[in-house]
Amino acid sequence: MSQRVLWVVWPSFLMAGVLEMLVFSVADPADLSGFGGALASLPAAAVYTLAFFCFWAVTAAAASITLLLAGSGVDAPARTAN
């Protein structure tokens, strides 16, 4: 079970970092007006942090669904006789 969690959490962490860099290379946190302007009133570091965790959650959900759909063939690597 812990190996499955790592299969989901680690790649989604890396992708959240990539998404963070891509999104905030284009958008400035001060210019965001979503959620009734609540994001614009937050410090930039808070917006970066919230966005990172949102990206991480979405990519982890996608990876979890992929792992779930892969079925039982993912549980253990194939063992060969020596």
At 15-63, the pLDDT tens digits run 999 999 999 999 888 777 766 666 777 888 988 999 999 999 999 999 9
Higher pLDDT, 11 or 77: 11
- Among residues 12, 6, 9, 26, the alpha carbon closest in space to that of 55 is found at 12
Residue 19 confidence (pLDDT): 95
Domain ranges of the chain: 2-70
How far apart are the C-alpha atoms of 5 and 7, rounded to whole Å? Answer: 5
Q: What is the pTM of this model?
A: 0.75
pLDDT at residue 76 is higher than 60: no
Average of per-residue pLDDT across 7-16: 93
